[in-house]
Structure formats: structure tokens, C-alpha cells
Chain A
């Protein structure tokens, strides 16, 4: 049976909040089966999701049949602290299957892309309105990764 939920999505290319639209998106199953993936070595999941939904990860681990599976990588974003009882949750999961654990700190690439996308659209709109017609070509838009130190000294 296909279930649906309504998610409010921001239409970034379609102007201000009053232009937001709603889309109907399918619900993604929370349970996947990895029993056929015989070469699987590593499973990477968001650390906080694992902490709050250990039973789903339990079910997932139980489907793994790969003989070379050896590692669980927990992904953490900027500003997220390790949950104090994470060790207990991992200990429980380890009873189902043996694995090593790694933590991965991940920066918000999506935000970088989002802001770059917005700047590109605004630049394009301004160029279409003639704002840069004194230039041989419209301004180039690109992104650069900066450190907090760099940002603090702007």
C-alpha cells in the first residue's frame, strides 16, 4: 500500500513565502533489507537518528548477512553534541552484530548549495533587469569554503 504525507516545501526559485507550495511526497519506508548485499562492509547513519530510533537500526542490522561487514559510521553535523547515553545504545546494537564504530563530522554541504543556488538566481534576475549591463558579461557566482576564523575577520 502506498501512503502519502504532505510536506510543505519552500519553492526557492519562486519568490517569497506566500508563493510557497505544498507537494505530496511519498513516505519512504523506514525499514530496508540488506540481506542481498553480500559485499557490504560499512553502514553509515545519522548519529542522532540512531540514538532515538535504535529499534529501526536494530532491524536493519538484523538483515545484514555480509561476512565482511565490519563498521558502523555515525554521522554528526556541526553543533551537535554526542548524546550522553549513546554508548549504551551502541552496546545494545553490538549484541546483534559485531562492528567497529566511527564518528563522522559532516559540514552542511546542502546549506552551501542552497545559498549558492539562491545567489545564482538573484544574480540572474538582476542581470536580466540590466543591473550589470555595463559589464562584458554578468558576474560569475561561485562558492568557497571558509573557516570560522576567516568569517570572524570579515
Chain B
């Protein structure tokens, strides 16, 4: 498969990739621009390593991620900072990782330049907003508790 630009994966479990996900997805690196992950499982570093496989990444959508660092996490192999990516849309839904992951992504990609950001239950969102200070044009914000206690008609 060549020239793949969008990839969506549900339930990806980074622990299952012996030898790292690069062995399985690395051939998409030259072209992939959009990644969607639903319920990914793995440490913050594993998620970071996966994202940095794709230096041309512009759009990231991650939902239901609750990665926590293990007690001790071996540092990944040293990587060069990627320049020029992350210019499109960022969508994070129920993203339970700590602010540290955002800082790592900012360092790994040489900053964030998203023009559209959608956040629902994301600790550390202020850091994301500041990282995209010069580029953010559209913010879709679901405040914590936005869907609680409101009567909604049953779907017919």
C-alpha cells in the first residue's frame, strides 16, 4: 500500500507490537497526514513514539486514552525533532494523559501549529491553546460537565 494519507485504528494496543510499531507502520511514514485512534492502549511514550513515526502528520484525533507512565520507562531511541507538522486539526476526546505528553509532542514536532482544535475532557488544555497561539482559528470546546443534567428527547 503506497501513498496512504489517512489511517484510523480502533483498540490499538501498543504492547502487542514486538519490536515497536515502526516495524508495522513505518512504511506509511513518507505520506501519512492524518491519524485517528480510538481507545488506544499503551504508555505515553509508546503513543508519542507512534505519532513521531509520521513526520508529515497534520491531523491527530485521539479518543478515550488513559495512558499513564509505568513506574520506570526506558527512554526511546534519540530522535531528531520534526519540523513543520501538526498544522491541521487536533481532536482529543476523553484524553486522560498528563500534560507531560503534550510537552513531549511539542518538543518532538518542534511545536504545534494546529488551526482547528476540539477538546472534550482534556486536562492541560491551556498548554495546547498556548502552543497554538499564533495559528488556532477554530476552537471547539466541550466544557467539563457540558452534557450533564440536560433533558434530551429520546431518539425516535
Please indicate the chain B residues that have their CB under 8 angstroms from the CB of A49 in the complex. 142-143, 145-147
Q: How far is the CB of A140 from chain B (nearest CB, A)?
A: 13
Please indicate the chain B residues that have their CB under 8 angstroms from the CB of A45 in the complex. 140-143, 146
Which of B121, B134, B143 touches A53 (beta carbons < 8 Å)?
B143
Tell me the complex Cα distance, A99–B152, Å: 28
Check A100 for interface membership: any CB of B closer than 8 A: no
> Residue-by-residue, is B97-138 near A (CB-CB < 8 Å gives 1, otherwise 0)?
000000000000000000100100111011001101111111
Number of A-B contacts (CB under 8 A): 99
Q: How far is the CB of B99 from chain A (nearest CB, A)?
A: 10
Tell me the complex Cα distance, A33–B39, Å: 29
Q: How far is the CB of A10 from chain B (nearest CB, A)?
A: 11
Which of A32, A41, A75 touches B137 (beta carbons < 8 Å)?
A41
The dominant DSSP class at the A interface is mixed
Closest to A42 in B: B138
Q: Are A37 and B144 in contact (CB under 8 A)?
A: no
Q: Are A79 and B153 in contact (CB under 8 A)?
A: yes
The dominant DSSP class at the B interface is loop
Check B1 for interface membership: any CB of A closer than 8 A: no
Chain B interface residue number, banded: 35 or more
Q: Are A28 and B138 in contact (CB under 8 A)?
A: no
> Residue-by-residue, is B60-92 near A (CB-CB < 8 Å gives 1, otherwise 0)?
000100100000000000000000000000000
Known: A25-B96, A77-B152, A116-B10. A46 touches B132 (CB 8 A): no
A residues 119-153 near B (Cβ < 8 Å) are: 120-121, 148
Closest 6 CB pairs of A and B: A79-B153, A44-B140, A28-B144, A36-B133, A49-B146, A42-B138
Listed A/B pairs (23) with beta-carbon separation below 8 Å: A28-B143, A32-B125, A36-B129, A36-B130, A39-B115, A40-B136, A41-B138, A42-B137, A44-B118, A44-B139, A45-B141, A45-B146, A46-B143, A46-B147, A48-B150, A49-B145, A52-B150, A73-B140, A79-B154, A110-B93, A113-B63, A117-B11, A148-B156
